[in-house]
């Protein structure tokens, strides 16, 4: 059974790091994790048997725009509907916002399309990391 929680505690940082690492995101140390979640306006965590197995976070102005980041589910729990549950909850949290944006990791675009996200005609970005620029920019 999946339980959703909306607060992160200091003791959760190693578990969140483990979830990131399970999907190959190795640059997220506990200090960075704390920084990005503290700066996020919205967050949700999926908990199974008392342990965080997935999460999503967003930044929003609360009126016009929001950007969803890091919809991540531990590799061992992928394919169980947890990502859908997290994303549905995040969209519900952002229901008053007129535009919700999201940048998908490569290969996950079909999942987000099923959830209602569409490609932007005018979306642009600057990636300071050359490897990410090559992966995500036209």
- Catalytic residue numbers read 112
Q: Give the DSSP H or E segment for 87.
A: helix 82-93
The SS3 assignment for 1 reads: coil
Sequence-distant contacts of 3-10: CB under 8 A, at least 24 apart: 3/46, 3/47, 3/48, 4/44, 4/45, 4/46, 4/47, 4/85, 4/86, 4/89, 5/44, 5/45, 5/47, 6/43, 6/44, 6/45, 8/37, 8/43, 8/45, 10/34
Dist CA 107 CA 133 (whole Å): 16
């Amino acid at each position: 059974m999946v339980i959703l929680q909306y607060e992160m505690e200091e003791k959760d940082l190693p578990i969140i790091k483990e979830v990131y690492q399970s999907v190959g995101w190795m640059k997220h140390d506990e200090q960075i994790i704390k920084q990005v979640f503290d700066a996020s306006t919205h967050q949700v965590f999926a908990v199974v048997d008392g342990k965080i197995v997935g999460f999503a976070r967003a930044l929003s102005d609360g009126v016009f725009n929001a950007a969803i980041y890091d919809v991540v589910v531990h590799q061992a729990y992928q394919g169980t509907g947890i990502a859908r549950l997290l994303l549905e909850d995040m969209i519900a949290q952002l229901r008053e916002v007129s535009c919700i944006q999201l940048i998908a990791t490569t290969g996950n675009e079909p999942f987000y399309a099923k959830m209602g996200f569409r490609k932007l005609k005018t979306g642009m970005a600057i990636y300071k990391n050359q490897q990410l620029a090559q992966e995500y920019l036209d």
